[in-house]
A and B are shown apart, each in its own frame.
Chain A
Amino acid sequence: MNIIIIGCGKVGTTLAELLSAENHDIVLVDEKPQKLSAIPETLDALRVTGNGASINTLQEAGIKTADILIAVTGSDELNLLCCLIAKKAGKCHTIARVRNPIYNKEIDFIKEKLGISMIINPELTAATEISRLLRFPSAIKIDTFAKGRVELLKFRIRPEFKLNDMPLYEIGTKTDSNILICAVERGGEITIPGGNFVLKDNDVLSIVASPRDAARFFHNIGLKTNQVRNTLIVGGGKIGYYTAKLLLDMKIDVHIVENNLTRCEELTELLPEATIIHGDGTDKQLLLEEGLATAEAFVTLTNLDEENLLLSLFAKANSNAKLVSKVNKISFTDIINNLDIGSVIYPKYLTADYILQYVRAMSNSIGSNNVETLYQILDNRAEALEFAIHEKSAVTDVPLAQLKLKKNLLIGCINRHGRILIPKGQDSIQVGDTVIIVTTQKGLDDIQDILRK
């Protein structure tokens, strides 16, 4: 595919490297010629100097034949403008990075009204990843798709869960939770189960659920998620804020240590439930005083990578907390991995990964007009297809229970104006929704293909 990347910062360059390795044709655009010439020639891409929101620059970059435009400059507004103009000048999909929390609340409005295919917020992405790390033990594998909004949780049924011989329709009531089992792996075979499917021990289940429902489900069946009950965060920046918010939603107690008094005051307004501590995160005494020794999780999110790593090393020696540290810039990944300091997250790779996943999904769906994206899930043995519902048809406004679906196919979730619904029998698909279909049947091309003929 022809891909234009505007903005050659950390994320832009990482993306270009990853995408060019997958044999896409890349055009890099940046206003500063020095930035472009600093990128080594080992990156096989065309370089265009200019403002990405200028139609002349875009034409020089080949907007007419571009399939995707990715705007990752430092400015949210410029990114959005790039996408808007690209949309008018060509027929490409657009991806913008928008990191201002104010826009973030209105993200679905912006996406819908401006016709932008994907908006990515690196800080939110990083925060989601952190909260995921703190919520689940390693026994549960997490696969994300639909631009990172839907999580597929994969785990093996053990006898103590008491799920043996249970038909699926009973699961909801027995476990008192709202989850959807979208794939069962038994003896190497993948089945997309219907309501009468009976579970056995040792099956590997893949479920879709909201974080809260997932937690309740695991709790009720007796799978210990080791979800932490409290977290100490050092650094109250954007990632810190988003992480705290996600954790608080999960009823996890959060303490934030922040250096800047004004920011502390902002944070208390934004997060009334959290404990905000004004102080230097590198102060040993302060950390111990705030209960580092008894904390169940310790997350370091300051702006200095070295400080984050050092703090984690300190915490490792002084507590049993789950450790998460953020590394923005330094690239000595192998050495950091040798440090054995729990999880390290790299926001630039996370962002690039999400976009990459989307680009892959897009290039899978090339040649089909109706499939928005196509994700290969469960080691490529099943597909998750995303359809946008533009018009009324046989599948809309009918309760799902009454739809005669094909075998090995189910409706994984419905995205209604930015809210993810886990569909139940009485729900129905409506015009304006985006629907995700999980199936082992390949070659679906239209939402109506899900019905049995």
Chain B
Amino acid sequence: MNYSIILYVIGWVLNIQAALMVLPCITALIYGEKSGWAFVITMAVCLIIGLPLVIKKPKNRVFYLRESFISTALSWIVLSIFGALPFWISGHIPNPVDALFETVSGFTTTGASILKDVEALPYCLLMWRSFTHWIGGMGVLVFLLTLIPMTGGSHMNLMKAESPGPSVSRLVPKVRSTAKILYAIYIVLTLIQIVLLLIGGMPLFDSLTLSFGTAGTGGFGIKNDSIAGYSTYSQVIITIFMILCGINFNAYFLIIMKQFKQAFDIEEVKVYLGIILISTLIIAFNTQHLFHNFGQAFQQAAFQVGSIITTTGYATTDFNLWPGTSKVILVMLMFIGACAGSTGGGIKVSRFLIMSKTVGKELRLLLHPRSIKKIQIDGHPVEHEVVRSTNVFLIVYILIFAASVFLISFDNFDLTTTFTAVAATLNNIGPGLELVGPTGNFSEFSNFSKLVMIFDMLAGRLELFPLLLIFMPRTWKKF
């Protein structure tokens, strides 16, 4: 294990975090808020620790897969701890665990909040809360890649460790160029949304924060009723962009390269859109009686489906009050999640695609024991390693899920609350059902349960393995 290079990476992460805090500082200046000082203090702390770490490039530049996994996991933890400082220093969230929960929820694009009254926060903290979504959506280390030239081959390993999905592909030969393209797509999508929201008459601050939350598929609102108070136009725009940000970004690259046929032929994206359409229709019919007409029911259903499957977690209505079928569908969508290579969380459509095809293959094998078949996605055979790691992922996922439910159950809430609280955090969604539903929040949980959920959120965002590796004693051995 090469510790010096890991410290070097963490140093850069701290410096970048200091740079990113300029945005809430500006916000504080504009609105003349005293809380802005909390950011200045945090920036100073970040730089004091970060700069000495990067001044000297480490001699030993060896950077293997395990270094990437560990530096990814540690970077996210460091990012969360320092990102939580402004909430705590400004005194708006006095409990450090709460501040950490809120920040982790932000960076992991979960959107679960412990705040009972969001509107009481100053603007600069609201801006930082939403901005963490945007940063966490595409990933900090991917961002790091585009900025600083790392040693030779470390790029791909870092990207593998941080990017969601069963396998990571390059768009162009160089990983750095790939990262740049991904960020460019991300920024353009965000800008388009901001402009469209502004056209709809939304104030600049609201459209910025909501667009950050949408693009990162986060879900922090700046109003107590999330999105419900905004116009239908804004809701429709947010629905569309949530769904767009849940699509595999490879599709956008193919569209830019004018390979439309291939772009619209990605199996995962087709399945993803199919799931959204079917779920929306079922929920719309199921909840029709709650709304004035079918059109409104459809719009609300589409918003909620889009919000949950992309793991954003915005709400326009209290779906806690919806009939059972609709709630079950939403809970199922929580687990499916968005596409691989998007900013969304969850298990990912592509994993379900691989698993369902594997099941089909196993069934066929029962009929024809000697048949040889490789499962294919987009016309390419899926390697055995990918299938295997997908299976392992699911098992680990279920184990973590069960353990978390058990640990949280000591708080003695009803089963639905406990179950959906874990589902909402492990899948990076935000709201669950009952107590943690769209109108509720996570403040009632004990500090211990919050720590468990902080772990769940980080594990969900980093796709389990990097975080688990930290707990393996072997990882830290020199040999």
Contact = CB atoms under 8 A, between A and B. Distances in A.
A45 B153 CA distance: 10
Contacts of B177: 25
Nearest to A21: B152
Interface stretch (A33-41, A132-140, A279-287): A33-41
Interface of A: 2, 21, 25-27, 33, 37, 40-46, 49
A28 to B, nearest CB: 9
Interface string B175-207: 101000000000000000000000000000000
B152 A42 contact: yes
Interface string B365-390: 00000000000000011010100000
A25 B152 contact: no
Contact of A44 (B65, B153, B160, B380): B153
A49 B376 CA distance: 14
B34 interface: no
A229 to B, nearest CB: 48
15 contacts: A2-B173, A25-B172, A25-B173, A26-B173, A37-B383, A37-B385, A40-B153, A41-B153, A41-B157, A42-B152, A42-B153, A44-B174, A44-B175, A46-B170, A49-B380
B450 interface: no
B155 A44 contact: yes
A156 to B, nearest CB: 40
B65 A41 contact: yes
Interface of B: 65, 152-157, 160, 170, 172-175, 177, 380-381, 383, 385
A208 B172 CA distance: 43
Contacts of A21: 152
A27 B173 contact: yes
Nearest to A24: B173
Given A33-B383, A49-B380, A41 B160 contact: yes
A8 to B, nearest CB: 14
A21 B174 CA distance: 12
The 9 closest A-B pairs by CB, nearest first: A42-B153, A25-B173, A46-B173, A41-B156, A46-B170, A26-B173, A45-B173, A42-B152, A41-B153
A43 B152 CA distance: 8
Query: Is the contact region of chain A dominated by helix, strand, or loop, or is it mixed?
Result: mixed
Contacts, number: 34
A50 B398 CA distance: 37
Nearest to A61: B173
B175 to A, nearest CB: 6
Given A25-B172, A44-B152, A46-B172, 18 more contacts: A2-B173, A21-B152, A25-B173, A25-B174, A27-B173, A33-B383, A37-B385, A40-B153, A41-B157, A41-B160, A42-B154, A43-B153, A44-B153, A44-B155, A44-B156, A45-B173, A46-B170, A46-B173
Contacts of B160: 41
Nearest to B178: A46
A322 B190 CA distance: 69
Contacts of B174: 25, 44
Contacts of A25: 172-174, 177
A359 to B, nearest CB: 15
Nearest to A40: B153
Contacts of A33: 381, 383
A42 B173 CA distance: 13
Contacts of A42: 152-154
Nearest to A45: B173
Nearest to B379: A56
Contacts of A43: 153
Contacts of B152: 21, 42, 44
Contacts of B172: 25, 46
B105 to A, nearest CB: 32
A51 to B, nearest CB: 14
A46 B174 CA distance: 7
Contacts of A49: 380
A43 B155 CA distance: 10
A6 to B, nearest CB: 14
A37 to B, nearest CB: 7
A361 to B, nearest CB: 21
Nearest to B380: A49
A41 B157 CA distance: 7
A54 B415 CA distance: 57
